[in-house]
Amino acid sequence: MKAQAKSSESLLHGGSTPTRAEITKSLDDGLFELIGEHRHEQVSLWYEPECGYRGVVAIHNTTLGPALGGTRMWTYENDLEALVDVLRLSRGMTYKAAVAGLNLGGGKSVIIGDPNSKNREAIFRAHGRHVDSMAGRYITAEDVGTSPSDMEFVSRETKHVVGLAGRSGDPSPVTALGVYRGMQACAKALWGSDSLAGKTVTVQGVGHVGYYLCKHLHEEGATLVVSDIDNEKVKTVVDEFGASGVTADGIYAVDADIFAPCALGAVINDNTLKVLNVEIVAGAANNQLEDERHGDVLHEKGVLYAPDYAINAGGLINVNAEVEGWDLERSHKKASEIYDTILKVIQLATDENIPTYRAADRLAEARIVEATAKKKA
């Protein structure tokens, strides 16, 4: 299949959220062109008007294993916006699983609706039936707007769901471990030693992941400067780890060795790049680059960027443990290997003189190509 949906290219390739006009224009090329642009294997729509369930499941690629990705519930402006979102997110999961060395493919689902809806049992059971109809090609989990208790409802209709309460549990400590290990790899590549002792690290967002990351860094003797819009959370890391707090806007301009975005996406953008004064960007947040070109700017400036989906794969590793039946020790070992992954990414980027975000994509794609060739042989 050779898809030619030129105008939809920017829509599915990451970067900023497409406008309604862009989405409509891309659809003028045809629905199948949009789905085919990045070779999604399958898109499924399921509608149960009685309970108001409107769900879309996208399976991007199952070469390496069943497609795993969470269920997002959101009040999309229109159905097309939901479709574009699920196509982008599911593709991202293929890359994340591939680069992390997991035997998983990429998939994701979205439920169009108010994430605070009270009608949860009916909606999530409908979603469970939808997921079950894919017979294990897609495994779901919680994501933005959904919770482990919603997944309990899903599990009444299908066994293809992970992240249930009492199973793999909060992924944040494993994610933080992976980010910490990825940071050490960056330090090794740039400064010749893993050690983060004496380095100044700015951590934006000290929520679930940010807190555990600060703990690792403090134990290693790093100096912490943190921000959060929730002052109580800042106070906790100031008290526990001797961090200094700065304002939410002030964090970008702090002179530091490493900037760790652990709150929001799109924080590497034209404005922040003007003031950012660090040698490494390495954090847990998804979609840190507002646009791919901002990754190019980091590369040109000589700032080492640990690609977000490669360094924050600990969350996926944590739920994969449920699929594979791993214990916590095995998950921690796998998350620790993010160190080797990030070193590999940096090596490839150096060899080819390309930005690290492109090097990560290449590694992921190479693994899928290799697996495809093996299957054919």
State how far the Cα of 318 lies from the Cα of 332, in Å rounded to an integer.
8
The nearest distance, CB 329 to ligand NAD, in angstroms, is: 18
Is the Cβ of residue 84 or residue 335 nearer to ligand NAD in the bound state? 335
Sequence-distant (6+) residues with CB within 8 A of 220 are 195, 196, 197
* Residue with smaller CB distance to ligand NAD, 199 or 208: 208
Residues that bind ligand NAD (CB under 6 A): 171-172, 175, 204-210, 227-230, 233, 248, 262-264, 284-286, 312, 315
| Closest separation in Å from C-beta 328 to ligand NAD | 14
Q: In angstroms, what is the minimal distance from the CB of 211 to ligand NAD?
A: 8
Least distance between ligand NAD and beta carbon 251 (Å): 7
Nearest Cα neighbor of 126 from 44, 71, 54 is 54
Kindly tell me which of 285 and 346 has the beta carbon lying closer to ligand NAD.
285
Q: Could you say which of 25, 96, 108, 233 is catalytic?
A: 108
Tracing tokens 């050779």 back to the chain, one arrives at: 2
* 244-245, strands of its sheet edge to edge: 244-245, 223-227, 200-204, 258-261, 280-281, 304-305
Q: How far apart are CA 82 and CA 88, in angstroms?
A: 10
Residue closest to ligand NAD, measured at CB: 207
* Smallest separation (angstroms) from ligand NAD to the CB of 26: 26
Among this protein's residues, is 108 annotated catalytic? yes
CA 244 to chain centre: 28
In the bound state with ligand NAD, the residue whose beta carbon lies nearer, of 18 and 163, is: 163
Nearest CA to 289 among 277, 300, 273, 313?
273
Q: Which is nearer to ligand NAD, 25 or 218 (CB)?
A: 218
Least separation in angstroms between CB 179 and ligand NAD: 9
Question: In this complex, which beta carbon is closest to ligand NAD, that of residue 228 or of residue 361?
Answer: 228
Indicate the burial class of 117 (C-beta count within 10 angstroms; 0-12, 13-18, 19 or more).
middle
Q: Which residues are known to be catalytic? A: 108
